[in-house]
Amino acid sequence: AAAVRQEEAQVAPLTGSASDQPAPGHAGDIAATLTKLVRDVPDHPRPGVTFKDIMPLLADAQGFAAAVNALAAGHEGIDKVVGIEARGFILAAPVACWLGVGFVPVRKQGKLPGPTYAETYELEYGTATVEVQVDAFGAGDRVLMIDDVLATGGTAAATAALIRRADAEVVSLGVLIELGFLGGRDRLADLDIRPLLRV
């Protein structure tokens, strides 16, 4: 039954190794899939913000698999995939399995046990702190960061700083959606950023 479902989803099963090529033929479709299955929620979590709600995408077997495949596509030679709490975890973990590499969580302050590196960054109101365990990477590991949405870029910049402090190399940032009008890309000038959809 699982094989049939994979066939219906028109994507390769998530059993590949890093050397396998992702399923071809969906690069153009994925933007349309995201447009259809990511919901705009006006004024969440506060007035004036249009929240990109990925829950309909996650709940759709074909859409979720297509998004994971597209995020993994073209990333040979990666050693670790980092997920950014919390929706980044949902996407990054299957991408890591697909690429045949390990998953590392970057978490909000106080969640990870043992010694951690911490980075604090500015939010519109106040600050936020993210952490990674000091032994999360091997020296020189090549890292793919994954999140659902790139907005102002503060979270991704802090995550990249953590990875570098932990002696690893940030190769790329993969996101479902880049909110281009917020200019996050400008804060990540040294990074290869790969959005599946740019709005």
What is the CB neighbour count within 10 angstroms for residue 99?
Answer: 26
Q: Does 51 bind ligand AMP (CB under 6 A)?
A: yes
* Identified binder of ligand AMP from the candidate list 57, 136, 145, 149, rule CB under 6 A: 149
> Cα separation of 145 and 17, whole Å?
18
Look at residue 174 and give its three-state secondary structure.
strand
Told to check if 105 binds ligand AMP by CB under 6 A, we report no
6 binds ligand AMP (CB under 6 A): no
Q: Which amino acid is at 135?
A: D
Give which of 42, 108, 106, 30 is closest to 72, Cα–Cα.
30
Piece of the chain touching ligand AMP by CB under 6 A; list 7-15, 62-70, 131-139, 154-162: 154-162
Q: Which of 11, 57, 73, 84 binds ligand AMP (CB under 6 A)?
A: 84
Q: Which is the catalytic residue, given 5, 39, 124, 194?
A: 124
Q: Is 164 a catalytic residue?
A: no
C-alpha 187/C-alpha 155 separation (Å) is 10
Q: Which residues bind ligand AMP (CB under 6 A)?
A: 49-52, 84, 87, 147-156, 184
